[in-house]
Amino acid sequence: MKIIEIKNMELLAPLFAHWQETMIWSCLEGSMGQAFAPAGGAPRAALLQVADFCFLAGEPCAELAAWRPAGAGDFSILAPQHEGWAAAIEAAWGQKARRCARYAFHKTAEGFDPAALARFAAALPPGYGLRPMGREEYRQALASGWGARDLCAQFADERDYYRRGLGVAVLQEGRLVAGASSYTVYRGGIEIEIDTHPDHRRRGLARACGAALMLECLKRGLYPSWDAQNPASAALAKSLGYRFDREYPVYEVRA
């Protein structure tokens, strides 16, 4: 079966209509990512690839479950719409696919307390400073070897990041040691990415920069969406005012 790229997102929107995920919205509105479906007729299955994520919807398709877009890295997170897709992913990837849980939160700001967020943002330990993600911080993030690339790597280049992205950096003696930034963007907001250098964890840096970024988003009329990779991230989100929605399965695949 031939897999083709789809440019007309209106053809795919019904397949993802009830999936409350900002990265899906990013792709369907043309802000980021790309879309694929089996060739021939109206699509009954589709894959949206945005950053490291692939969202599979519609009728399970073995070829699409095994599809890797050109230029995709060695690591992908496959999100099945239902268990039929989960079975297709397991059949396609076998032991290369590790099933794990992620944690979704309601897309509403009703639990946010700006005063509390301001206190969290100000509660940095001595020796650390908080500032907007500038050009030097952007370059340090891309050159980092501890995961900070994800703070801005999904944008085409530095110019694209400063045109559409948004971020907050934590510095120690001029070095980037933590940050919160737009992993992806859509018209109504951003998907938050937070990373902390291993040597600087458990010091409140993630909460401080996360709170600062949330405040900046609210100031600009943007929604700071949070999707947690693990229970620790979910607990941090709850402490910042996010309302838990559900746990859902994904597959981490190393090709």
Tens digit of each residue's pLDDT (9 = 90 or more) over 98-144 = 999 999 999 999 999 999 999 999 999 999 999 999 999 999 999 99
Q: Which CATH number characterizes residue 224's domain?
A: 3.40.630.30
Determine the Cα angle at 98 with ends 86 and 5, to 5°: 55
> What DSSP element (H or E) covers 24?
helix 22-28
Residues 98 and 118 in one domain: no
Pairwise CA distance, residues 83 & 88, whole Å: 9
Residues 53 and 166 in one domain: no
Residues 81 and 137 in one domain: no
Residues 13 and 126 in one domain: no
Task: Identify whether 250 is part of a domain.
Answer: no
Task: Identify whether 109 is part of a domain.
Answer: no
> Last residue of some domain: 44, 78, 104?
104
Residues 124 and 220 in one domain: yes
Pairwise CA distance, residues 250 & 164, whole Å: 28
Per-residue confidence in pLDDT tens, the chain, 255 aa: 899 999 999 999 999 999 999 999 999 999 999 999 999 889 999 999 999 999 999 999 999 999 988 777 789 999 999 999 999 999 999 999 999 999 999 999 999 999 999 999 999 999 999 999 999 999 999 999 999 999 999 999 999 999 999 999 999 999 999 999 999 999 999 999 999 999 999 999 999 999 999 999 999 999 999 999 999 999 999 999 999 999 999 999 997
Task: Identify whether 248 is part of a domain.
Answer: no
Closest CA to 182 of 143, 217, 211: 217
Residues 179 and 229 in one domain: yes
Determine the Cα angle at 167 with ends 18 and 180, to 5°: 75
Task: Identify whether 252 is part of a domain.
Answer: no
Task: Identify whether 244 is part of a domain.
Answer: no
Residues 90 and 162 in one domain: no
Reduced to 3 states (helix: H, G, I; strand: E, B; else coil), residue 68 is coil
| pLDDT on residue 1 | 81
> Last residue of some domain: 82, 104, 126?
104
Task: Identify whether 253 is part of a domain.
Answer: no
- In the block, tokens 């050159």 appear at 143
Boundaries of domain holding 81: 3-104
Residues 176 and 125 in one domain: yes
Residues 128 and 99 in one domain: no
Which tens digit of pLDDT belongs to each residue from 231-253? 999 999 999 999 999 999 999 99
Q: What is the CA radius of gyration of the chain?
A: 19
The first and second tokens of residue 112, run together, are 């946010």
Task: Identify whether 255 is part of a domain.
Answer: no
The total number of structural domains that make up the chain: 2
Q: Contacts by 81-87 with C-beta closer than 8 Å and gap 24+?
A: 81/16, 81/19, 81/55, 81/56, 81/57, 84/59, 84/60, 85/56, 85/57, 85/60, 86/249, 86/251, 87/60
| pLDDT on residue 249 | 98
| pLDDT on residue 245 | 97
Task: Identify whether 60 is part of a domain.
Answer: yes
pTM of the model: 0.95
Residues 50 and 155 in one domain: no
Residues 228 and 158 in one domain: yes
Residues 189 and 88 in one domain: no
